[in-house]
Amino acid sequence: MSYSIIDTHCHLDIIESYGLPIPESLENSRNSGVKKILQVGIDLNSSLLAKKIAMEQSGEVEIFYSIGYHPTHNFQDSEKKEIQKLIHQEAQDSKFVAIGEIGLDYYHKEVDEKTQKSDFREFIELSIEKQVPVIIHSRDAEEDTYQILKDYKDKAFGVIHCFTYNREYAFKYMELGYYISFSGILTFNSAKDIQDAAKHLPLESVLIETDAPFLAPTPFRGKRNEPAYIPKVLEKMFQLRTEDKEKIEKTIYKNSENFLAKRRFTC
């Protein structure tokens, strides 16, 4: 069974540092039906590298990139300025499709909440200025994330990546114009709230991703993840939803293409 899938969030550079070279990741991806990959930046170096990877790979898997400012990193002010400069510089590049990961993480406390919130707002405002979507990382911060996004309703848009909250929050974010993206966590037996959200959201708002090398789906849980494992997330979606498989696969693919084309989700 061969699928057509887009991995809307992964870190090929980190997968490589875990021992799997990028060309092999891409070869495995291709064999699993992965057509496109969004390579995500988390700081200045990884964002520059993401651009380089997107430019250099010319195989059958098309690669896009984002420029990010991850909320668990304690950035120097100079690095923040460089990241913002890079966003201004690349805004028109067709391979540059989003600002992120940005967001709030109250589980890891490397950066205080006040700083996280003001940085989050700063990058959202930049995304509005540049008319690009945001990729949001949010952990143990569902309400603050919602309150901030609400302040930019009808201006900012993007995706809640690796969604880990419940159905209520999935709908709240969706109603603000965000895609909800599900990772390998969806396949874990313990992930009842996340599965409940994936089951009930309008299909048009759903994306899937690996966040590889992290969060490998069942039966690879605990191992190094790679984009080639993304069919497991899609197959879990087949199990949870009532639409036929083809409709689920095609709709999620189309949603992902819209996202990569910097188009907002509209409900």
- Give me the residues that bind Zn ion (CB under 5 A), please: 211
Which is closer to Zn ion, CB of 12 or CB of 148?
12
Length of the chain: 267
Which is closer to Zn ion, CB of 142 or CB of 211?
211
CB of 250 to Zn ion, least distance (A): 25
CB of 42 to Zn ion, least distance (A): 7
Which is closer to Zn ion, CB of 105 or CB of 211?
211
**Residue in the block written with tokens 């700081």:** 43
CB of 12 to Zn ion, least distance (A): 11
Report whether 181 contacts 207 (CB < 8 A).
yes
Give Rg (Cα) of the chain: 17
CB of 1 to Zn ion, least distance (A): 27
Which is closer to Zn ion, CB of 46 or CB of 187?
46
Alpha-carbon gap, residue 35 to 150, rounded angstroms: 33
Instruction: Name the packing angle between helices 231-240 and 245-260 (round to 10°).
Output: 130
Helix (H, G, I), strand (E, B) or coil at 101: strand
The answer for residues whose C-beta is within 8 angstroms of residue 250's C-beta and 6 or more apart is none
* Residue whose Cβ sits closest to Zn ion: 211
